[in-house]
Amino acid sequence: MNTRKTFRMDGRTIPFEDGQSIIDAALAAGEYIPHLCHNPEFTPHGSCRVCTVDVDGRMVSACTQPAAEGQQVVNNSDPVNHYRRRLLQMLFVEGNHVCPGCEKSGACQLQAVAYYTGMLAPHFTHFFPRREVDASHPDTVIDFNRCILCELCVRASRDVDGKNVFSISGRGIQSRLIINSNTGRLGDSDYDRADKAASVCPVGAILPKHQGYEVPIGERLYDQRPISVVGDVAQAKQGDNGDG
Amino acid sequence: MADKIRIATAPLAGCFGCHMSLLDIDERLLDLIEVAEFDCSPLNDFKRVGSADIGLIEGGVANTENVETLRDFRRHCRILVAVGACAVNGGIPAMRNQFDLRDCLEESYVNGIGVENPMIPNDPEIPLLLDKVHPIHEVVKIDYFLPGCPPSADSIWTFLTELIEGRPVSFPYTQIHYD
């Protein structure tokens, strides 16, 4: 029998299978690597770069980098987390993320990853862009102020729902989420609240209506314990227990 | 008395919730005044900042008076701290940045429901509003940031005690939140 292939991350040996990314191998081993645009259910996108790790002295995104035998990966270190914090701060100032006024607060991955990396302030100058809110759909509201262009809704609608409701238009700082309908509004599209795309948004950009504060602030997923403990790592660990 | 740490506080464009949260340290205020005394603060109604070791700023910068107060604090405080969401990133008041200032004023003073004698106030004693609301780090250098809407009394207490005792400031997970 072949011995399992492994790499080293923060002093721990992580097993992997051929073709597995660093982040998925780490997740399977119960190790958290911060991420926003990555969701193990979808093809990696590599756009947010928050999962950046140091691999043998080079900074790479762990969601797109295949694991390889003998790699030395630095994940949870001050320099790597400083780099992540700067990326998060840029995401915060590029949009309008008003946590005290957001229904997603406490269950928001952008906020939770920022807590994890110790972000206390935005550091940069705010853009305060002017963006719309689309409340045309009876079940869902889209607040473009909070979109971080992770393309999870794009991937979910295209790859799971088979609908192509969402897309990203424009380039660079002009990039924005657009909706595939005659009017460009969600209410006139094929979107349905049962779609996979309705439940993948890591921030408060795609929000279900009529349930805003059913779970009170203070009792939400990331309010008491960090995303490194209760995020998808917890689900991966639960899966392990179920299998074992 | 001379050896006590001097703390000054100021409310800019905020709701006073952060000052309420400071008072919410309750009987720990008695411990605080063993080692610290207040320079100008709305809590003692001294109007101008004298010379302080720690300046706590609540609220963002929304008008010309806010700019003057903030710069005055920067000149007279050794350590300046952004306390709360509005000071840190503009917070709720910065949501007006989505609109033209004239539209905001007309909504409030001309077209608003129940407005009598509609006119935009222009008395020279009223500070002029800025075009946009800004976080305070966009106007002066800030030494520490304490997020939260408001920061809890516990996180304010952690911050003040660790800073005054000269230790690196670090918070338990539950003491840092943005909402």
d(CA B57, CA B142): 10
Please indicate, yes or no, whether residues A17 and A70 belong to a single structural domain of this protein: yes
Domain-ending residue, one of A29, A44, A76: A76
A62 lies in the same domain as A40: yes
Least Cα separation, residue A37 to chain B (angstroms) = 21
Chain A residues with CB under 8 Å of B91 CB are: 98, 100
Residue type, A159: D
The answer to whether the CB of B64 falls within 8 A of the CB of B12 is no
Report pLDDT for A2. Answer: 60
Q: How far is B99 from chain A (nearest CA, A)?
A: 8
Q: Which residues contact A40 (CB under 8 A, 6 or more apart)?
A: A24, A27, A232, A236
- Is the pLDDT at B30 greater than 80? The verdict is yes
3-state secondary structure of B116: coil
Contact A112, A231 (CB under 8 A): yes
What single-letter amino acid sits at B149?
Answer: C
User: Is residue A230 domain-resident?
Assistant: no
Residue of A nearest to B89 (CA): A122
pLDDT at A240: 59
Residue A156 in domain: yes
pLDDT higher than 60, residue B1 = no
Please report the pLDDT score of residue A242 as a whole number.
40
C-alpha separations of A198 from A154, A170, A191, A204, A233 in Å:
11, 23, 8, 11, 22
Facing A120 at nearest CB: one of B90, B94, B145: B145
Domain limits of chain B?
5-94+131-175
DSSP-derived letter for residue A73 is: E
Query: Which residues in chain B are closer than 8 Å to A98, comparing Cβ atoms?
Result: 85, 89, 91-92, 94-95
Average per-residue pLDDT for chain A? 94
- What the block records as the tokens of A145 is 């102020």
Residue A12 covered by a domain: yes
ipTM of the modeled complex: 0.94
pLDDT tens string B33-60: 999 999 999 988 888 888 999 999 999 9
Residue A154 has which token pair?
């794009």
Domain presence at residue A239: no
Residues of B with CB under 8 A from a CB of A: 82, 85, 88-92, 94-95, 97-98, 132, 134-135, 137-138, 142, 144-147, 149, 173-174, 176-179
Last residue within a domain, chosen from A30, A56, A76: A76
| A92 and A138 belong to one structural domain | yes
Contact A166, A200 (CB under 8 A): no
Average pLDDT, chain B: 95
The residue behind tokens 């063993």 is: B34
| Shared domain check, A103 and A59 | no
Phi and psi for B163 in degrees, rounded to 5? -65, -45
- A205 and A131 belong to one structural domain: yes
**Length reported for chain A:** 244
Per-residue buried b or exposed e for A72-87, using 16+ beta carbons within 10 Å of the residue's own CB:
ebbbbeeebbebbbeb
Task: Mark yes or no for CB contact B95/A101 under 8 Å.
Answer: yes
A91 within a domain of the structure (yes/no): yes
Chain B residues whose beta carbon lies within 8 Å of the beta carbon of residue A102: 179
How far is the C-alpha of A179 from the C-alpha of A114, rounded, in Å? 28
CATH number of the domain encompassing residue A106: 3.30.70.20
User: A25 vs chain B: nearest CA distance in angstroms?
Assistant: 27
State whether residue B10 is helix, strand or coil. strand
Say if residues A121 and A97 touch (Cβ distance below 8 Å). no
Do A205 and A88 lie in one domain? The reply is yes
Residue range A177-204: average pLDDT?
A: 97
Distance between CA atoms of residues A32 and A114, nearest Å: 14
Smallest CA–CA separation between B79 and chain A, in Å?
Answer: 16
> Among B93, B97, B46, which residue's Cα sits nearest to residue B73?
B46
Which residue range is the domain that position A63 belongs to?
5-76
Q: A95 and A27: one domain?
A: no
Answer whether B85's CB lies under 8 Å from B148's CB.
Answer: yes
B85, B138, B145 member nearest A99 (Cβ): B85
Do A68 and A93 belong together in one domain?
no
Q: Using N-to-C axis directions, what is the helix angle for A109-116 and A78-94, rounded to 10°? A: 150
How many residues make up chain B in this entry? 179
The domain tally of chain A equals 2
Would you call A142 helix, strand, or coil by DSSP?
Answer: strand
A38 shares a domain with A94 = no
Q: Are residues A146 and A69 part of one domain? A: no
Closest C-alpha to B69, from B125, B19, B140: B140
Q: What is the mean pLDDT of residues B71-100?
A: 97
Are residues A197 and A175 located together in one domain of the fold?
yes
Domain co-membership, A64 together with A104: no
Give CB contacts under 8 A, 24+ apart, made by A236-241: A236/A27, A236/A28, A236/A30, A236/A40, A237/A30, A240/A28, A240/A30
> Phi and psi for A134 in degrees, rounded to 5?
-110, 105
Among A76, A105, A120, the domain boundary falls at: A76
CATH assignment of the domain containing A59: 3.10.20.740
Q: What pLDDT was estimated at residue A243? A: 41
The answer to whether residue A29 sits within a structural domain is yes
Helix, strand or coil, per DSSP, at residue A199: coil
Instruction: Find the residue in A nearest to B177 (Cα).
Output: A115
Instruction: Give tens-digit pLDDT for A153-169.
Output: 999 999 999 999 999 99
Q: How many CB pairs under 8 A join A and B?
A: 74
Topology annotation, domain B5-94+131-175: Rossmann fold (3.40.50)
